[in-house]
Every structure is written in structure tokens, then in C-alpha cells.
Structure 1
Amino acid sequence: MGENNSNKTLVPEAANKLDKLKYEIAAEEGIELKKGYNGDITARDAGKIGGNMVKKMIEYAEKNMK
């Protein structure tokens, strides 16, 4: 079975901004993230962070499509 890593950042320059967004959203949700590995958070909390990141990215894209 071939590996397919879909977690690659397509625009490397955006990696720091995405990381910052992750921590901002975690703080908004009251989820404590530490630098580095956070495999001890629940799937529900990880989903909240990821889902809200996508929501904010879509909002940003919609605002800038004009």
C-alpha cells in the first residue's frame, strides 16, 4: 500500500500562519495545546480545532474572492 501524506503544506510560506491559527483557535475553544506533540488531546478537541480552522480559512477566502 503506497503512502499518501495529505498533511503537506502546499504553500510552505503559510506553515507558520497555519500553526498560529491552530493555537489561536485552541485558545478560543479553551483547549490547551503545548508546543510540539499533542497526541494526548481528545479526538473531539482535535476536530474542533481542525473544523474551526477550515471554517476561518473558508471565510477568509470568500472575503478575498471579490
Structure 2
Amino acid sequence: MANRNNSNTLVVQQAKAALEQMKYEVAQELGIQIPQDGYYGYMATRDTGAIGGHITRKLVQIAEQQLTGFKR
């Protein structure tokens, strides 16, 4: 099996808790229930994709605000 680099590796390990919190916040905003046992196998792909997409949008927005020095 080929050795693959994991593109999901966090550069700043302390960010893990913040990303987890953001995941739950986004899911709540979208009305999506996150499984308590942590197993996402029974969730619809559309729901997990929506959560990931919204997290990405929020992270890009945060980065843009930091680059421009603008706070909302």
C-alpha cells in the first residue's frame, strides 16, 4: 500500500478543540444532529458535507477578516 500524506493533519494541534466546537455549532445552526457515539456512518453524506462546507466558509471568513484587520 502506498504511503499517503494525510491532508487533514492539523498544523496547530491546539486548534482541534476549537474545530470540534465549531462542528457542533454549525450542526446546531443547520439543525443536524451529530451522533453522540462519534460514528458518522449512519449520517447522510449531504448532512456531513453541509457541516464541512459551512465550517470551511467560516474559516475562510475568519482568515479574510484577520488579513484585512476587519472585525464584525
Query: TM-score normalized by structure 2?
Result: 0.82
Q: Using the alignment, how far apart are the partners of 2:7 and 2:42 within structure 1?
A: 22
1:65 alignment partner, one of 54, 64, 67: 67
Q: Is the counterpart of residue 34 in structure 1 residue 32 in structure 2? A: no
Aligned residue-pair number: 66
Q: Using the alignment, how far apart are the partners of 1:28 and 1:39 within structure 2?
A: 21
Unaligned runs of 5+ in 1: none
| Root mean square deviation, CA, Å | 1.2
1:1-66 alignment to 2 at 5 Å?
A: 1-35=2-36, 36-66=38-68
* Secondary structure in 2 matching 1:6: coil
**Structure with greater Cα Rg:** 2
- AA aligned opposite 1:54: T
Query: TM-score normalized by structure 1?
Result: 0.88
Q: Structure 1 segments of 4 or more deviating over 3 A?
A: none
Deviates more, 1:10-19 or 1:31-40: 31-40
The structure with higher relative contact order (CA 8 Å, sep 6+) is 1
Q: Identity across aligned pairs (percent)?
A: 39
